[in-house]
Amino acid sequence: MLLEDFKNTVDNYTTTISPEDIEQTCELLDIDITNGYSRSLVTDKLYENIRSALTLGNDEQIDKIAIANLLKIESELIYRYVLYDEDPIVYLNVLRVIQDSCRRIGNFFPPFSDKKNWKRVIENGKGFNSFSPSTFSKDIRNLRRDYPKDYDIATSVKELINNGCEIEIIDSKINIKSGLEAIVAEVNEKVKKIGGIVLIKSLFNYLNQNKKYSERFERYFITREARGISYDQRPQIPFGFLLNMSLKYPYENSKVQKPQKLFDEIICLARIISNGAYGVQHYNFWEFHFQSGETIIKFCTDIALWDSMFSLPQCRPSSALEICDNLFSFISENDFQVALGFTKKEFLSVFQELNQMSKDSHNPTLVYQSTLCKTLKQIEKGKIIKILDILAHQNKVNENYLLPSDYFSIDFGQRPLMKLGPTKFLLINSSWCAPNYFEAVATPLRKQFKLQKKDLDKDLGLQLETFLQTKMITKGITFSKGDYDVDGNHGECDLLIETDKAIILIEFKKKVLTRKSKSGIDINILLDLSDSILAAQLQAGRTEIILREKGNITLKNKNGKVTEVYFNDKIIERVALTQLEFGGFQDRGITNQFLNSLLTHTFGTYSSDKNVIEKFNKLEEKQKIWVDQFNKLYALDKGFAHYPYFNCWFMSLPQLMEVINLSVDNNSFYETFRKTKHVSLNTLDWYREFDVSTHE
């Protein structure tokens, strides 16, 4: 075990120098003191000795230690202190010296079997701490301040143990061996007892009281709260976990005694489960900026799980209505009515009325069929019943959902309403339910298209482009699109927008973040991101290279219209656009981290699934093209050489709609679009960042 090897190595050696006699120490370290001596000469020499001992030669590749793995044992030292009262101070102090002295020497250290070099490392590391005790000296009383995230995780795990869990620590990671399901089942029983509607109202009231709701964007800002100084952080409430569990019990229990006490117990247990069993909350925002190929998969897994457990999928209700109106517009009235039993206009009227009914309420809204019939007199009663039945879950929602990571069991996203009785329905929350209308209608339409041997999703992808183009035209935004043939290579540009300062390339991808990815399965996260961000950026990258190499590009659209676009040394912005949200992955910093990791590292799989293997082979091919594009752009663009992928974006359709809505022409579109380019609040929430950047 790496920690035991490190502790044994530290315990075996001690320093041979004394801070009391600097001159003698300089002699022992072979420091030239012709021009005098000082403590800084000593500490610099100690750092130099550590670096030279830990620097691997080109042929030293066997049994090496990944630096990232060695530094993980800092976390394990804190875990073991909190859980087992093992004193970590001397080991933490030495680790900090090693970390600080070896920032730029590569990614690996020699193995602990190399006793000669590690003896030198420990002696010099302990020597540094004796000469400069205030630099890295740790106090046992301040460990929570110095390592807040690790300390809080261990504290939560200790609570899990007290509640019956058994754990083990392997490779500096805490694994829950048993007992977690029983604790989650206890939370489930408490939610069942208090009633899901009571808990939902309490959680939304908490968010409202803490000013987390944005009237401007009609959504909750449930965001990461990482800071530069993180000791004032505490475990956040896993709203996503609790709200999805509450949907299993859509009722209120007014007979519960001391409901506040029960509510507090639910929150407490949910916090220790999410923090102790998963530990995906980031405390320090620097974690968002310094990921490598070795750490990017775990980092992306944490992002996906945080989004699933702490946040909610949301959409502005009016945007969801507009998307449904336009993306289904290519479907004939006959096909629509045959598949669903009502017209598009009737469906959209009910959708709009439901939005109106819940507009001023952030809490669950009861919907009665009779109320809709009175309001929408132009629609037959039978059709309103059909529309409500299409939009409503007929049976229990999220029935098998238990563990916070079990996104497979979340089926709420398939429909926006819950059926409570023959004519009684429940709309939980307008912004949370808004994305579900599309899927509720798309599902029966897919069946109808399948009978006609057509692919609805393929046609929807094409309609997405048409909708976006129409939306831009109404705002006075002009654009180009079409195919090109350059030097024998054929390509396609989905959308190109020219402004005075920039050329914006937008490439559409219908790929979604699958439920497997949202459950934290790393293989699927990597493949989903590859089929969305990477695929779109490769497409945009080809266009950018042509513009920079040739100075122009000729696009020919399906109607035969030819457009010549000239580079003219403009900024080129590249946007990968998806219909649905990808959560924290659509933060520009995270996009940049992911794209950079694809340059330096290859990724494989132990899966024997032929389909998975084939996808990884395709990923490898994409990476080769990605590296080739990097080399070309590095030579063509000085700015790219300094800041690779700074001009690369990953956005959703609803996000881009917010930008378009604030635009009046191409130049205003670009000025609004770039508002978040140089700003980061480290929330990993595009809407929150856009809100601050465009606030007047």
Residue 75: name the closest of 202, 171, 142, 163 by CA: 171
Q: Would strands 365-368 and 424-427 be described as parallel, antiparallel, or unpaired?
A: antiparallel
575-633: pLDDT as tens digits: 999 999 999 999 999 999 999 999 988 898 888 889 999 999 999 999 999 999 999 99
312-323: pLDDT as tens digits: 999 999 999 999
357-380: pLDDT as tens digits: 988 778 899 999 999 999 999 999
Residue 615 has a pLDDT of 93
For the chain, state the CA radius of gyration: 29
Per-residue pLDDT for 222 more than 90?
yes
Per-residue pLDDT for 236 more than 90?
yes
Residue 58 has a pLDDT of 60
Residue type, 461: G
**CA 165 to each of CA 75, 111, 158, 189, 410: distance values in angstroms, whole numbers, following the listed order:** 20, 35, 9, 18, 25
**Rounded to an integer, what distance in angstroms lies between the CA atom of residue 529 and that of residue 209?**
36
Give the DSSP letter of residue 235.
Answer: P
Give the DSSP letter of residue 277.
Answer: I
Per-residue pLDDT for 60 more than 60?
no
Give the DSSP letter of residue 409.
Answer: G
In the chain, where the domains are located: 2-146, 149-164+177-310, 317-454, 460-693
| 3-state secondary structure string across 580-637 | CCCHHHHCHHHHHHHHHHHHHCCCCCCCCCHHHHHHHHHHHHHHHHHHHHHHHHHHHC
Residue 105 has a pLDDT of 81
Per-residue pLDDT for 61 more than 60?
no
Per-residue pLDDT for 143 more than 60?
yes
**Rounded to an integer, what distance in angstroms lies between the CA atom of residue 176 and that of residue 531?**
33
Six-digit token string for 317: 């209700």
3-class state of residue 577 by DSSP: strand
458-497: pLDDT as tens digits: 888 889 889 999 999 999 999 999 999 999 889 999 999 9
**Rounded to an integer, what distance in angstroms lies between the CA atom of residue 54 and that of residue 485?**
52
506-515: pLDDT as tens digits: 999 988 999 9
User: For residues 187 and 163, is the Cβ–Cβ distance under 8 A?
Assistant: no
The whole-model pTM stands at 0.93
268-306: pLDDT as tens digits: 999 999 999 999 999 999 888 888 888 899 999 999 999
Four-point Cα dihedral 632, 637, 639, 645, nearest 10 = -40
* Span 405-430, average pLDDT: 95
Per-residue pLDDT for 646 more than 90?
yes
User: For residues 115 and 27, is the Cβ–Cβ distance under 8 A?
Assistant: no
440-463: pLDDT as tens digits: 999 999 988 888 878 888 888 889
**CA 566 to each of CA 499, 548, 552: distance values in angstroms, whole numbers, following the listed order:** 11, 9, 4
User: For residues 136 and 96, is the Cβ–Cβ distance under 8 A?
Assistant: yes
Residue 572 has a pLDDT of 97
* pLDDT, greater one: 59 or 547: 547
Count, residues in the chain? 696
Residue 43 has a pLDDT of 87
Position 62 confidence tier, pLDDT thresholds 50, 70, 90? low
Residue 409 has a pLDDT of 95
* Residue 453 zone, left/alpha/beta (φ > 0; ψ -120 to 50; rest): left
Q: What is the mean pLDDT of the chain?
A: 93
Q: Would strands 562-566 and 552-556 be described as parallel, antiparallel, or unpaired?
A: antiparallel
Residue 696 has a pLDDT of 64
| 3-state secondary structure string across 493-548 | EEEEEECCCEEEEEEEECCCCCHHHHCCCHHHHHHHHHHHHHHHHHHHHHHHHHHH
Buried b (16+ CB within 10 A) or exposed e, 267-295: bebbbbbbbbbbbbbbbbbebbeebebbb
**Rounded to an integer, what distance in angstroms lies between the CA atom of residue 278 and that of residue 301?**
11
**Rounded to an integer, what distance in angstroms lies between the CA atom of residue 624 and that of residue 637?**
20
